[in-house]
Amino acid sequence: MVYHIPVMVEEVVAGLVADPDGAYVDATAGGGGHSWALLQALGPKGRLLAVDRDREAVAAARVRLAADARAVVRRGCFAELSELLAQEGIGPLSGVLFDLGVSSHQIDASARGFSYRADGPLDMRMDAEVGPTAAELIAACSERELAELIARYGEERAARRIARSIYRQQRLAPLTTTQALREAVAATRPQMLNKTLARVFQALRIAVNDELGQLQVGLTAAEIGLKPGGRLAVLAYHSLEDRLVKQHFAALVRGCICPPRVPICTCGRRPSFKRVGRKLQRASEAEVKQNTRARSAILRIYEKIEAG
């Protein structure tokens, strides 16, 4: 069984690999799909560090990449990226890839609790041995905190009504399964149940795994670790993470941070990155037909330049 179907593989490899003999990082290795494709584009001197915080993903990637001595697979999160690079002695980097969100395996494995489509434990942790589960998070939140979480990370307009229903159900009996959470959301009678469920589950998953906080740290680590000419590729699947990436690099591409009304730059900051190709790329219609999860994918690529 395929662990995960990687998205926009050709576009990622074409945009990321500018130096076949360089050092690269796949910061979200999954089952090793993107990593394997990157290795095919690298020369004999190229190196690849494949990282994932999910123990099952690490095991799958190690099997997939075991025959290639140029690859090293390590378990870790974005916040540990700088430490992992130092431990492996890899750098300066020619490229870094972030494939955000959840993998096909995580979604399909009901025991992980990522999907509302099958019943299972309300877990949602990407590292199943670290931190509170989604059930524990719900139990620890007030109704107001739940509403804020669903509104912020799920961008759900009916967040207050949904939080009220979840909180009421939680007081009657702890919500410990995905089915119980689904029923609490369905009780609010949303017009489009599946889309509402997707937003609620997304919000809880992001909160449980601190996905946006981890991403911010990971982008900074990549920004520092890349050498001039090195590239960063990010595959995002929803507006929150894509917006964070776009905003993070907007200032680095622009350089100057002086107010618009100031006629002459006084801050002295110069651009340290430039966009590669169009501002964003999307999966082809042919790929979406074969893998519907590619529909929402947005690829952005940036290249580090000499600031001067």
pLDDT at 3: 65
Please state the pTM of the whole predicted model: 0.92
Q: Please tell me the predicted confidence (pLDDT) of residue 101.
A: 84
146 & 227 share domain: no
Counting Cα atoms < 13 Å in the Cβ hemisphere of 59 gives 6
Q: Of 107, 132, 295, nearest to 201 (Cα)?
A: 107
Q: 5: which 2 tokens?
A: 């179907």
Q: What pLDDT is recorded for position 307?
A: 60
Q: What pLDDT score was predicted for residue 278?
A: 77
- Count Cβ atoms below 10 Å from residue 289 Cβ, excluding itself: 11
Say if CB 149 and CB 76 are below 8 A apart. no
List, for residues 206-254, the tens digit of each pLDDT value. 999 999 999 999 999 999 999 999 999 999 999 999 999 999 999 899 8
Q: Number of structural domains, the chain?
A: 2
Going from the C-alpha of 115 to that of each of 109, 186, 241, 278, the distances in angstroms are: 8, 15, 19, 33
Domain boundary (209, 241, 261) is at: 209
Q: What is the CATH number of the domain that holds 46?
A: 3.40.50.150
Q: What percent of the chain has pLDDT over 90?
A: 82
Q: Give the contacts of 250 (CB within 8 A, at least 6 positions apart).
A: none
Contact (Cβ atoms closer than 8 angstroms) between residue 51 and residue 38: no
Q: Are residues 295 and 262 in the same domain?
A: yes
Lowest mean pLDDT among 103-107, 117-121, 217-221: 103-107
- As a whole number, mean pLDDT of residues 140-157 equals 97
Domain match, 163 and 201 both: yes
Q: Which residues pair with 87 in a beta bridge?
A: none
User: How confident is the prediction for the chain on average, in pLDDT?
Assistant: 93
The whole domain housing 269 covers: 9-105+212-304
Q: How many CA atoms lie within 13 A of 281 on its CB side?
A: 21
pLDDT, mean of residues 95-113: 88
Taking a C-beta distance cutoff of 8 angstroms, is the pair 185, 165 a contact? yes
Q: What is the mean pLDDT of residues 278-296?
A: 91
Q: Are residues 264 and 234 in the same domain?
A: yes
| Strand ranges (E), 237-295 | 273-275, 281-282
Radius of gyration of the CA atoms of the chain, in A: 21
Q: Is the pLDDT of residue 1 over 60?
A: no
Q: What would the pLDDT profile of 53-88 be if each residue is shown by its tens digit?
A: 999 999 999 999 999 999 999 999 999 999 999 999
